[in-house]
Amino acid sequence: MTLDGHSPRTLTVAFYHPHTIRLDGIWMVNGMANNVQQLRPKPADSEKITINLGYVDLGQIDLMVQEGFYSNRTDFIRTAIRNQLERHADVVKQSTARKSLDLGLRNYSREDLEAARRAGEMVHINVLGLASIAQDVTPELARATIASVSVLGALHASPAVKAALTDRTR
């Protein structure tokens, strides 16, 4: 049955017109909509930032996009940032080594933190990139095992864990 109570065959005949887009697949979509389940949320692979630009700079970016050098404003800005990071790569590399930062993605699971607690050790989170504390980590476990948090980039953790570590975050 369809939404209006007719059988699919009746609906097809009733709505047939040479210039109409047919709805043959609508019954499958309606029937399957209730069966869709998200197995696990996809983690974000980027962070949104906001910048303010002067009108002249923005106009020049738009001109470069219009002329086909870049596909859109975001492509231009991303390319400009990557060029600057490449230009200063040696400084970044030296600073990363000097500050003992983990580079890239670093996950801290409940099991990792429980092992640290059993060993009587405190964890110092020093990451350049993305530091992620698992969603099943409790604020109590985080406070008992994480001595400090220094992240250049983004920290993903539950709001409760972030709140529990506020005084330890630089």
Q: What is the pLDDT of residues 150-163, one digit of tens each?
A: 999 999 999 999 99
**Residue 47 counted as domain residue:** no
State how many domains the chain has: 3
CB 145 within 8 A of CB 120: no
Could you tell me if 104 and 153 lie in one domain? yes
Q: Is 164 helix (H, G, I), strand (E, B) or coil?
A: helix
pLDDT in tens, 82-128: 999 999 999 989 998 888 899 899 999 999 999 999 999 999 999 99
Together in a domain, 133 and 103: yes
User: pLDDT band at 143, cuts 50/70/90?
Assistant: very high
Which of 24-28, 69-73, 99-103, 126-130 is the least confident region?
A: 24-28
Q: Decide: residue 88, CB within 10 A, 0-12 exposed, 13-18 middle, 19+ buried.
A: exposed
Asked if 80 and 64 count as a contact pair (C-beta separation under 8 A), the reply is no
pLDDT at position 14: 47
Q: What is the DSSP string of 36-67?
A: ---SSPPPPSS--------HHHHHHHHHHHHT
User: Are residues 126 and 91 both part of a single domain?
Assistant: no
83 and 113, same domain (yes or no) = no
pLDDT band of 51, cuts 50, 70, 90: very high
Q: Round the average pLDDT of the chain to a whole number and report it.
A: 84
Answer yes or no: is 50 within a domain.
Answer: no
Q: How far is CA 14 from CA 8, 22, 24, 136, in A?
A: 10, 11, 12, 53
Q: Would you say residue 28 lies in a domain?
A: yes
pLDDT of residue 100: 87
The residue segments making up the domain with residue 150 are 99-168
For every residue of 143-163, DSSP letters joined together read HHHEEEEEEEEEEE--HHHHH
Q: What letter represents residue 119's amino acid?
A: A
Lowest mean pLDDT among 29-33, 60-64, 68-72: 29-33
Tell whether the model's pLDDT for residue 11 goes beyond 70: no
Give the residue-averaged pLDDT of 30-59. Answer: 74
So what's the pLDDT on residue 99? Answer: 86
